[in-house]
Structure 1
Amino acid sequence: MIKNFEQIPLVLTVPQVAQALNLGRDTTYNLVRAGIIHSVRVGHQYRVPKAALMEYLAA
């Protein structure tokens, strides 16, 4: 479990983002697919930069 900002990796998977936000996996995927949380697609997977997660939290 992520306890503080320094422990967050530079790039997160969607399940890691879901855990950090205390949201469900499907809800987090919907946020990513809708572009509400910015992400990068790598093959069939989404990766969320740490900066994008912080931007979402600040909004």
Structure 2
Amino acid sequence: MFKDYKDYPDVLNVSDVQQILGIGRKQAYELVHSDNFHVITIGKRIKISKKVLFNWIEGEQNPA
């Protein structure tokens, strides 16, 4: 289990988002499918930059 920001990998998956935010699987998928932050889709896999997610959590705007 990760305990600190630096312990997470640079590229996160949906289960990492779930764990970080303390939300359920359905909520995590709804979030990554929203336009709140940039995600990368590789086939059926969804990847999120750790930096983008934590900036979003802190309320910072990400460049388009």
TM-score, with structure 1 as normaliser: 0.89
> 1:14 aligns to what?
14
Runs of 4 or more off by more than 4 Å in structure 1? Answer: none
Letter in 1 for 2:20: A
Question: What CA RMSD, in Å, does the superposition of the two structures yield over aligned residues?
Answer: 1.0
TM-superposed CA distance for 1:37, in Å, is: 3.4
Question: Residue deviations 1:8-57, cap 9 Å, x none?
Answer: 10001101110111111110110110121321001111001111111221
Secondary structure of residue in 2 paired with 1:47: strand
> 1:34 aligns to what?
34
Q: Please list every run of 5 or more consecutive structure 1 residues that lacks an aligned counterpart in the other structure.
A: none
Counterpart-to-counterpart distance in 1, 2:25 and 2:2? 16
Q: Please list every run of 5 or more consecutive structure 2 residues that lacks an aligned counterpart in the other structure.
A: 60-64
Alignment length, in residue pairs? 59
Larger radius of gyration: 2
Letter in 1 for 2:6: E
Q: Percent identity?
A: 31
More helix by share: 1
1:48 has 2:48 as partner:
yes
